[in-house]
Amino acid sequence: MQHRREHAAAAPSSQPLTELDQSSVTRLRTCARPSKSRRYVIVGGPGVGKTTMANVIAQQCDLVRIELDELWWGPNWMSAGSSELQTRVRARIDHIDGWVADGNYLDEVSSMLWGSADVIVWLDLPRRTGFVRAVRRSSRRVMSRQELWNGNRETWRVLTPSSLRALWRRWPDYPRRIETLLRADPSYMDKLVRLSSQRKIVWWTSEQHVPDRRARLEVFP
Beta bridge partners of 79: 73
What is the C-alpha separation between 49 and 123, in angstroms, rounded? 7
Instruction: Evaluate whether residue 220 is within a structural domain.
Output: no
Cα-Cα-Cα-Cα torsion 83, 163, 19, 62, nearest 10 degrees, comes to: 0
Structural domain for 99, as ranges = 17-215
Distances (CA, A) of 81 to 116, 156, 171: 21, 25, 22
Does 1 fall in a domain? Answer: no
In this prediction, residue 89 carries a pLDDT of: 96
Q: Is residue 11 one of the residues assigned to a domain?
A: no
> Is 9 inside a domain boundary?
no
- Report if residue 221 sits inside a domain: no
* 121 within domain boundaries: yes
Judge contact between 134 and 165, C-beta under 8 A: no
Number of domains in the chain: 1
Confidence at residue 205, expressed as pLDDT on a 0 to 100 scale: 79
CATH of the domain at 158: 3.40.50.300
Q: What is the pLDDT along the chain (221 residues), one digit of tens a residue?
A: 444 444 333 333 333 333 333 333 333 333 434 446 789 999 999 999 999 999 988 888 889 999 999 999 999 999 999 999 999 999 999 988 899 999 999 999 999 999 999 999 999 999 999 999 999 999 999 999 999 989 999 999 999 999 999 999 999 999 999 999 999 999 999 899 999 998 888 888 775 454 443 344 444 33
- Residue 145 domain-assigned (yes or no): yes
